């Protein structure tokens, strides 16, 4: 379970993540690398220069994922890079999770997002995202539910921007960041409440 000692700033994580999304969809890969370095330093406390290696793994996975027609070898390589990233996150964050399980959930999140983009039914996507957050932060599915919902809401707004159906992309990028802020604030508050309860009952 969560220890309550894991620290991160939800506002900064949300900001770096939404800026990373912009770079991913613009295919500005070197800028994405720089932003992901900042993101994972903030979120998982991976120090430089190891953070550069960790960012390389996740950006390389993103580059391989960007084309919609994947070969089986590409899928295996994406999963392998995600697992390498999460092994580094495990080493420096102080969190306790299974890197292989978390990498598989991350990959499934990418699959669900692409498969359900533009569709009204998001329940499978929410389930995957909730399971991912629960696995990373040592929470129950109920504890991670709100963060999963907010994250999928952010992705849904993102889809209107990337599909060029948003009436106001500037406002919707800000909305994405606000939803991500709510997502990470929920995770931060829940992990610390859970940690305090564990400390009291220990």
Residue from 165, 182, 131, 189 nearest 4 by CA: 189
**Calpha distance 164→199 (Å, rounded):** 49
Evaluate if residue 152 carries a pLDDT over 70: yes
Residue 100 lies in a domain: yes
Evaluate if residue 200 carries a pLDDT over 80: no
Residue 78 lies in a domain: yes
Residue 202 lies in a domain: no
Q: What's the whole-number mean pLDDT along residues 165-184?
A: 98
Residue 201 lies in a domain: no
**Calpha distance 136→12 (Å, rounded):** 19
Domain count, the chain: 1
Residue with tokens 């990028």: 173
Residue 3 lies in a domain: no
**Calpha distance 120→144 (Å, rounded):** 22
Residue 17 lies in a domain: yes
Residue 4 lies in a domain: no
Global pTM value: 0.89
Evaluate if residue 3 carries a pLDDT over 70: no
pLDDT of residue 60: 95
pLDDT (tens digit per residue) in 60-75: 999 999 888 877 778 9
Q: Which two tokens stand for residue 58?
A: 């996740």
DSSP string, 154-199: HHHHHHHHHTT--S-HHHHHHHHHHHHHHHHHHHHHHHHHHHHHHH
Residue 104 lies in a domain: yes
Domain containing 49 equals 10-194
């Amino acid at each position: 379970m969560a220890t309550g000692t894991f620290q991160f700033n939800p506002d900064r994580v949300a900001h770096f993540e939404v800026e990373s999304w912009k770079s991913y969809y613009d295919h500005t890969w070197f800028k994405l690398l720089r932003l992901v370095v900042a993101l994972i330093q903030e979120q998982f406390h991976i120090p430089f220069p190891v953070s550069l290696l960790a960012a390389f793994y996740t950006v390389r996975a993103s580059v391989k994922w960007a084309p919609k027609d994947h070969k089986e070898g590409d899928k295996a390589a994406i999963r392998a890079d995600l697992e390498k990233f999460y092994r580094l996150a495990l080493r420096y964050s102080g969190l306790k999770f299974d890197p292989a399980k978390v990498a598989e959930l991350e990959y499934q999140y990418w699959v669900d997002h692409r498969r359900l983009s533009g569709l009204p039914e998001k329940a499978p996507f929410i389930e995957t995202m909730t399971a991912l957050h629960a696995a990373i932060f040592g929470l129950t599915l109920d504890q991670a539910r709100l963060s999963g919902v907010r994250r999928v809401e952010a992705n849904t707004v993102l889809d209107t921007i990337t599909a060029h159906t948003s009436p106001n992309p500037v406002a919707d990028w800000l909305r994405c960041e606000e939803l991500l802020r709510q997502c990470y604030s929920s995770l931060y508050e829940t992990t610390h409440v859970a940690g305090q309860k564990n400390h009291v009952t220990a």
